[in-house]
């Protein structure tokens, strides 16, 4: 069973809701505790006749297709309890983010209990992403695996390609439904079942388990005849949701629809909204790295003065358990061979920049793939984690320095994408080799800036000691 503290925050953006026509699937991976080292890798395409996947977590054995496509991933450095590959994009520019922990209500679990020898988070991306060519195919393949093998967890999983964004939510041990996000909308997913009305006749936009309708009818689970509201039938609306989950939806919708008046603890906020203005990658980053900034609920007390109780009232989005944040962007304004970008942030996202990596590549930068289990500032994960330990006790003293670093890295990232895109237009050589080298240059510069920030923070921190004493200062 997954540790219940392994929770995440997700945002999905349709192509008509994004500033540049991209589809976006983005998610914070929040680990079992403050420490869960993550690395960034790419798997080459390969032939694998008669291969099977065997989970070290549940023991499930799943036969695999004969050919696996190339894909990126963000697995754990320590894989003794499984790979947990979590987020990546494959060679067909299909993105997958797995998973967002959710909950199925007790009534449903009484009829379809979780199973503990099935397909769990640890295996989902590995079993699906290398074998699908569209986002919808990803939802279909995962759904079929859930029906056949079952799952021991409650999760939502997101997929995107250049045209569509799909969200799949599990229900009990074997059931599920998936929906296509409307192109002009975004959705926030905060560790809670969020899918609402499902049109069972609209297979272009909805998919469900083969026996889902019969299951609901047999056990009298639908409280609204004539409707099929997945959240009401399968989800929860608990006091814990109101303080742990719904405030994150409230804050995201406050950012992107500021004209709407809602309460942070409301259980009636819709999953899907049309943003007041189109969303850029920077808007997604701001949400995923936020901590109720500008409200009385901000634990840093950055812009508004709340009481200590108010500042600790709701579960923050950026928090100590942040491990890796991936924004999977499939662009529509460039050629397919360089359309897919995985923006990656490691550590504590309030302090860590997002670095854009093209995914049509042969390798990842050394300090992103050499993550160790022990602390070492020679890899990006631990460098960023170490910075967070240093920054948090003196956040306001370091704030100007930190934000100058983050803004500089973001501007540099945009410049690198612009330059690389322009060079690739009309490119006749090996694009994947060029993109691999381009990623190395981008990551190298950001890592250099991060080490410089580390140097400056150490030096400034030495001046903040409470034991500083100048000779004659009290004379």
Per DSSP, which regions of 14-164 are E strands?
23-30, 41-43, 46-47, 52-54, 61-63, 67-68, 71-73, 87-89, 95-101, 155-160
Kindly give, in sequence order, each residue whose CB lies less than 8 Å from that of residue 195, ignoring residues fewer than 6 positions away.
167, 169, 177, 179, 230, 231, 271
What would the DSSP string read from start to end of 421-466? HHHHTT--S-HHHHHHHHHHHHHHHHHHHHHHHHHHHHHHHTTS-T
Catalytic residue of the set 8, 154, 185, 409: 8
The answer to whether 119 touches 174, Cβ cutoff 8 Å, is: no
Locate tokens 């986002």: which residue?
A: 135
Contacts 24+ apart (CB under 8 A), 209-212: 209/143, 209/146, 209/147, 209/171, 209/174, 209/175, 209/176, 209/177, 210/147, 211/175, 212/171, 212/175, 212/176, 212/177
The answer to whether 319 touches 291, Cβ cutoff 8 Å, is: yes
Please indicate whether residue 8 is annotated as part of the active site.
yes
Q: Please give the Cα distance from 87 to 25 (Å, whole number).
A: 10
Pull the structure tokens for residue 209: 């388990």
Within 10 Å of residue 115's Cβ, how many Cβ atoms? 18
Pull the structure tokens for residue 190: 């905060």
The answer to whether 231 touches 196, Cβ cutoff 8 Å, is: yes
Kindly give, in sequence order, each residue whose CB lies less than 8 Å from that of residue 391, ignoring residues fewer than 6 positions away.
351, 398, 402, 457
Q: Please give the Cα distance from 34 to 43 (Å, whole number).
A: 27
Q: Please give the Cα distance from 227 to 359 (Å, whole number).
A: 41
CA atoms within 13 A on the CB side of 181: 37
Print burial letters for 299-320: b (CB count within 10 Å at least 16), e (below 16).
Answer: bbbbeeebeeebbebbbbbbbe
Task: Classify residue 166 as exposed, middle or buried by CB count within 10 Å of its CB (0-12, 13-18, 19+).
Answer: buried
Within 10 Å of residue 254's Cβ, how many Cβ atoms? 18
Q: Nearest Cα to 24, choosing from 175, 137, 189, 153?
A: 189
Per DSSP, which regions of 111-268 are E strands?
155-160, 165-171, 175-180, 186-189, 206-208
Q: Please give the Cα distance from 326 to 341 (Å, whole number).
A: 10
Active site residues: 8
């Amino acid at each position: 069973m997954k540790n219940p503290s392994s929770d995440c925050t997700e945002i999905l953006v349709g192509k008509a809701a994004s500033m540049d026509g991209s589809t976006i699937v983005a998610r914070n991976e929040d680990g079992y505790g403050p420490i869960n080292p993550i690395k960034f890798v790419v798997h080459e395409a390969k032939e694998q006749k008669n291969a099977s996947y065997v989970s070290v977590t549940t023991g499930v054995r799943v036969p695999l297709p004969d050919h696996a496509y190339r894909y990126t991933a963000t697995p754990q450095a320590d894989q003794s309890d499984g790979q947990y590959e979590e987020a990546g994009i494959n060679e067909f520019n299909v993105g997958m983010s797995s998973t967002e922990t959710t909950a199925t209500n007790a009534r449903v679990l009484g009829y379809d209990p979780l199973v503990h020898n099935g397909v769990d988070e640890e295996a989902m991306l590995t079993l699906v992403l290398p074998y699908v060519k569209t986002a919808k195919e990803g939802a279909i393949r995962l759904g079929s695996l859930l029906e056949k093998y079952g799952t021991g967890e409650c999760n939502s999983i997101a997929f995107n390609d250049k045209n569509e964004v799909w969200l799949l939510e599990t229900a009990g041990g074997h059931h599920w439904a998936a929906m296509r996000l409307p192109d002009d909308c975004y959705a926030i997913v905060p560790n809670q079942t969020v899918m609402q009305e499902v049109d069972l006749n609209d297979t272009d936009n909805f998919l469900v388990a083969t026996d889902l309708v019969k299951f609901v009818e047999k056990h009298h689970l639908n409280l609204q005849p004539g409707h099929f509201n997945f959240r009401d039938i399968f989800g929860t609306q608990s006091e814990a949701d109101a303080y742990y989950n719904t405030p994150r939806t409230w804050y995201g919708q406050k950012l992107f629809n500021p004209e709407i008046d809602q309460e942070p603890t409301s259980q009636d906020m819709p999953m899907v909204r049309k943003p007041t203005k189109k969303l850029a990658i920077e808007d997604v980053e701001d949400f995923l790295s936020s901590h109720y900034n500008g409200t009385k609920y901000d634990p840093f007390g950055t812009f508004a003065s709340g009481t200590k109780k108010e500042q600790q009232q709701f579960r923050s989005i950026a928090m100590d358990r942040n491990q890796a944040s991936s924004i999977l962007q499939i662009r529509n304004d460039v050629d397919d061979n360089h359309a897919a970008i995985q923006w990656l942030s490691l550590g504590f996202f309030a302090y860590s920049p997002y670095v854009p990596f093209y995914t049509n590549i042969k390798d990842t930068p050394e300090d992103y793939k050499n993550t160790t289990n022990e602390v070492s500032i020679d890899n990006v994960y631990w460098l960023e984690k170490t910075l967070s330990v240093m920054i948090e006790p003196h956040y306001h003293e370091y704030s100007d320095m930190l934000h100058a670093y983050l803004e500089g890295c973001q501007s540099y990232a945009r410049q690198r994408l612009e330059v690389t895109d322009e060079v690739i237009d009309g490119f006749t050589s090996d694009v994947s080799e060029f993109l691999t080298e381009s990623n190395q240059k981008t990551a190298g510069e950001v890592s250099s800036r991060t080490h410089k920030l580390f140097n400056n923070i150490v030096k400034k921190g030495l001046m903040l000691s409470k034991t500083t004493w100048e000779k004659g200062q009290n004379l």
